[in-house]
Amino acid sequence: MRTSGAEAHSGLHKTADRRDRLRARVEAFFRRRGARPTEQRRIVIDAFLSARDHVTVDALRDQLRAVGTSIGYSTIYRTMRLLVENGFAVERRFADDITRFELSDDAEHHDHLICVECGSITEFEDPRIEALQQEVADGLGYILTTHKHELYGTCATCRTRSRGQG
């Protein structure tokens, strides 16, 4: 489901609100534990919260190196595991089997469209799909606790590019 310009702009505010909400939750988590994150962990958390896409540990490391910060792979990975284990991030593995992380926010459910050509990931939400999934679960006697919905295909950019090469 593509969004119009106005919806996309509105989505940016929604994403910023979501990041602010998660940043506050992470800070509260550390306060409750009576601990402050180390400087390196704080930098990784900030980089993750500012990422626009589903990020890999390698992408976070590259992002940090690009701004002159050298934090090791294991520190980044352990920080991401901490975020996942405490509900601030979700670990995703799509068909390419590469581990990616995205913001976790119970108030924001979405599904994914993944391009099999370029690997781009588009998040979307469609209430009709959600209702149908619930209807199927109900009909089969299931109580849903969670689900993930991934659709694979070729994005418009790749289709246009391949038409131009033909």
Which of the 8 DSSP states describes residue 53? S
The residues of the chain that CATH labels 1.10.10.10 are 1-105
The residues of the chain that CATH labels 3.30.1490.190 are 109-166
Which of the 8 DSSP states describes residue 48? H
pTM (2 decimals)? Answer: 0.63
Instruction: Give SS3 for 103.
Output: strand
* CATH code matching the domain that covers 1-105, chosen among 1.10.10.10, 3.10.450.50, 3.40.50.1110, 3.30.230.10: 1.10.10.10
- Give the pLDDT of the chain (166 residues) as one tens digit per residue: 333 333 333 344 456 777 777 778 888 888 888 777 788 988 999 899 888 778 999 999 999 999 999 899 999 999 999 999 888 888 888 878 889 998 876 556 778 888 988 888 887 888 898 899 899 999 999 998 877 788 889 999 999 888 877 6
Query: Strand 121-124 and strand 111-115: pairing?
Result: antiparallel
pLDDT of residue 11: 40
| CA atoms in the 13 A half-sphere facing the CB of 120 | 10
* CATH code matching the domain that covers 109-166, chosen among 3.40.50.410, 3.30.1490.190, 3.40.605.10, 2.40.160.20: 3.30.1490.190
pLDDT of residue 22: 78
- Euclidean distance between CA atoms 80 and 84, whole angstroms: 6
Give the list of residues 6+ apart from residue 132 with CB closer than 8 angstroms, or none. none
